[in-house]
Amino acid sequence: MKILSRLLNNCRESDRKIGMKLGISGGAVRARIRKMEEKEIIEEFFIKVEPTVFGYGVLYFVVSGENINEILEQVSLVGEPYFVVPCIGGITVCGIVVKENVKQKIELASKLMKDVRVLSIFEAENSGFNSNLTKTDLEILEELIKDPKQKIENIAKNINLSTKTITRCIEKLQENDGIQFTLVYNSKKIESFIPHVILTWIKGKLKETLENLNNTFSESYLQIPFIAKNQIVLFMYSDSIFKMDELTQKVRTIENVKSADLFIPKKISFYIKWLEKAIKDFKKSSKLHLDIK
């Protein structure tokens, strides 16, 4: 689980470096990763880009129902799918990329989505992610979408750039909080542990509350927490449903946490059509930098 956690937060981290952090050899790390791939716990390595990097807005929907095709058909009325997560209990959480007029899109979604029951819609906060990417950065990003772990020499050969340029650009992408080298995992295949998400609603100091949550719960984190407006999303794992409940109750006692809801994802699906289109459109632009204000 600790290896999986490190790969979720940076799938380009070397086996040797992971091993040094965990006190085992790089070969042992590689063997465990291969085992997780064979068991289909790791489905694919993936590069996750926050739509706000391209100046787009994101709407998060929490809906009642698990018919993914029906839900996608409904939410696509207002934007491009970003991710869809059906959870135990018949609840589905999804993110939708919208280009403009986000508040109007929320109202539109409330009126148009008739076939699914919308429990909540909220807008992601523009978290100030660095958007100053060049066309070269995006060309490399486009190549990394195919395989985030591919070797620098392969990327250089495929797009005819020097390994020095590739290395510098990948370092730049990894330093960008809006771009994450991660993976997609199958929670149903994980034995002995249960990945789960605690969605917290914060009233008060967001960053201070996040720091308190990190200090208290970091040992249970599967991924780095995600901030969306006045919500902090905690990605965690436990070895029993009772510990999950205990963690959720404990989160509710943290200062400035107004409420906390527990979700157990059955599957996480990401969509990159919006990203491919965004890169393609920018590459046609006369601008040298994607400088979103």
Does the residue 218 lie in any domain? yes
Q: Read off the pLDDT of residues 15-29 as tens digits, 9 standing for 90 and up.
A: 999 999 999 999 999
Domain with residue 101: its CATH number is 3.30.70.260
In a domain, 279, yes or no: no
Q: What pLDDT is recorded for position 292?
A: 58
Task: Say if residues 156 and 162 touch (Cβ distance below 8 Å).
Answer: yes
pTM of the model: 0.88
What is the total residue count of the chain? 293
Tens of pLDDT, residues 36-83 = 999 999 999 999 999 988 888 888 888 887 788 888 887 787 889 999
**Nearest CA to 248 among 189, 182, 172, 197?**
197
Contact 223, 8 (CB under 8 A): yes
Structure tokens at 232: 């902090």
Same domain, 198 and 241: yes
Give the residue from 96, 125, 154 where a domain finishes. Answer: 125
> Is residue 170, in this structure, part of any structural domain at all?
no
Stretch (H or E) spanning 45: strand 42-49
The confidence score (pLDDT) of residue 114 equals 67
- How many separate domains does the chain show? 3
CATH assignment at residue 247: 3.30.70.1150
- Say if 27 falls within a structural domain: yes
Structural domain contains residue 292: no
| Amino acid (one-letter) located at 78 | V
The whole-number pLDDT of residue 108 equals 74
- Domain check: are 251 and 209 in the same one? yes
Domain extent at residue 212:
190-263
Any domain includes 116: yes
d(CA 178, CA 71): 26
Is residue 207 assigned to a domain? yes
Last residue of a domain, one of 125, 142, 157: 125
Taking CA atoms, 214 is separated from 104, 197, 203, in Å, by 35, 15, 17
Low pLDDT (below 70) residues in the chain: 112-115, 124-130, 286-293
Same domain, residue pair 33 and 60: no
